[in-house]
Amino acid sequence: MSKEMVIPAITWILLTAILELVAFLTLGALPSQASEQAKVIDDAFFLLIYLVIPVFTLVVVFLLYSIMKFRVSGRPTVDGPGLKGHLPLTLVWLAVTTVLTGFVFFHPGVTGLLELRAEENKVPDIVIQAEAVRYSWKVMYPQEMVYSKKEIVLPIHMNTQFLVSSKDVLHAFWIPAFRVKIDAVPGQTTHVNATPTKLGSYETDTQFRLQCAELCGLAHSKMFLPVTVVSEEDYREWISLQKPIK
């Protein structure tokens, strides 16, 4: 390693350590994580943050160092060294980026996806049909034969499968607190699972909302339904008050 590399290399290590620490301390500031799926997705997100920081700092440090060290004031009068490339460095760079990409693909890429699929492949405790029509949601509880157009209430710790459909245009089913999303496609029933892990409601935390996330027209912004996660007891009570499906 040439002498000029020492300062940027040390700076890189220091800056990486600082940013990793900042990331570690602030990542908890993400909005409410209220389902098992949210934990898988957030863990993947955090891991990717930790992994991209050294790449980010490497480029930034060498960029800034070069600008400070190699700038000339005014028009350059002599050319730089006629260095056209460096095969070993290029091969090392390719190897490192390939290995990093491969790593990220397997973990959290494939592993995260398989974890989510494993949840989906379990027999769900509760099945809910969410039907979108511009600009409202109708949620049906086929096991209980009731439905609601005002809110969606879920018992905590139950593996819930949402069967999503649309009667007109594309919509998307998204509950930010659960981190899950799937489009509602006319003529198709899509599905997504979420197992709530935290009590909460839209009144105190707007992350608890079923938001349409695919542009569907004029009132797309307002196409959302409050989500409430309650105890099983409260859930039973709420179910008993809902309108029956005819």
Partner 1 sequence: MNGVAFLWPIARGVVSAVVGLLIGLGIGTGIAALTGNDPAEINITFGYLFGLIGWLLGIGVWDNWVREWIGRERRSFTPEGWRRYFGFSLDHKVIGVQYLVTFVILFLLAGIFALIMRLELADAGDGLIGPDYYNTIMSLHGIIMVAVAVAAIIGGFANFILPLMIGAEDVAFPRLNALSFWIVPPVAVLLILTPLFGGFDSGWTAYPPLSVINADGQLLFLFAFLTFGLSSILGGLNFLTTTICLRAPGMTWGRLPIFVWSVFAAAIISATATQVVAFGLLMVILDRVSFMTFFNEAAGGKPLLYEHVFWFYSHPAVYIMILPGFGLMLEMISHFSRKPLFAYKWVVGSFLFITVLSFLVWAHHLFTSGMEEFLHIPFMAITELISVPTGVVFLAALGTIWKGRLWLVTPMLFALGTIFNFLIGGLTGIFLADVATDIHLQDTYFVVAHFHYTMMGGEVFMIFGAIYYWFPKITGKMYNETLGKIHFTGMFVAYNALFLTMFYVGLQGMNRRVSSYPPELQDGNVLLGILSLILGLAFLPFVYNAVASWIKGSPAPDNPWDATTLEWQTTSPPPEENFPEIPVVTGSPYDYGVPGSKHADVSKTPLSTVQGD
Residues 47-86 that bind partner 1 (CB under 8 A): 48, 52, 55-56, 59-60, 62-63, 66-67, 70-72, 74-76, 78-86
Pairing of strands 152-155, 224-230: parallel
Say if residues 159 and 201 touch (Cβ distance below 8 Å): no
Pairing of strands 152-155, 146-148: unpaired
* Among 129, 148, 211, 228, interactor with partner 1 by CB under 8 A: 211
Q: Which of 127, 146, 158, 182 binds partner 1 (CB under 8 A)?
A: 182
> Which residues lie below 8 Å from residue 20, measured CB to CB, with a gap of 6+?
50, 53
Residue type, 215: L
Comparison of 44 and 156: residue with beta carbon closer to partner 1: 44
Q: Tell me how crowded residue 44 is: count the other CB atoms within 10 A of its CB.
A: 20
SS3 165: strand
Name, in order, each residue with C-beta under 8 angstroms of 37's C-beta and a sequence gap of 6 or more: 116, 119, 178, 179, 180, 193, 194, 195
Q: Does residue 129 contact residue 163 with C-beta atoms inside 8 Å?
A: yes
Among positions 217, 231, 232, 237, the unique one binding partner 1 when judged by CB under 8 A: 217
**Sole binder of partner 1 in the list 105, 150, 236, 245 (CB under 8 A):** 105
| Strand partners of residue 143 | none
Q: What are the Cα distances from residue 55, in Å, to 11, 17, 50, 93, 99?
A: 13, 12, 10, 12, 13
Whole-number minimum distance, CB 234 to partner 1, in Å?
Answer: 24
**Which lies closer to partner 1 via its Cβ, residue 114 or residue 145?**
114
Q: How many residues bind partner 1 (CB under 8 A)?
A: 81
For partner 1, the binding residue among 90, 121, 143, 231 (CB under 8 A) is: 90
Indicate which single residue of 148, 161, 195, 207 sits in contact with partner 1 (rule: CB under 8 A): 207
> Hey, what are 25's tokens?
């301390």
Q: Residue 195: which of 154, 227, 239, 152 has the closest Cα?
A: 154
- And the tokens for 222? 């307002």
User: From the list 41, 139, 163, 230, which residue makes contact with partner 1 (rule: CB under 8 A)?
Assistant: 41
Q: Minimum CB separation from partner 1 for residue 81, in Å?
A: 5
Letters for 115-154 (x = contact with partner 1 by CB under 8 A, - = none) are xxx-------------------------------------
| Region from 41-49, 124-132, 137-145, 228-236 binding partner 1, contact rule CB under 8 A | 41-49
Q: Which stretch, 10-18, 139-147, 148-156, 173-181, contacts partner 1 (CB under 8 A)?
A: 173-181
Q: Least CB distance from residue 115 to partner 1, whole Å?
A: 8
Residue 215 C-beta: closest distance to partner 1, Å: 4
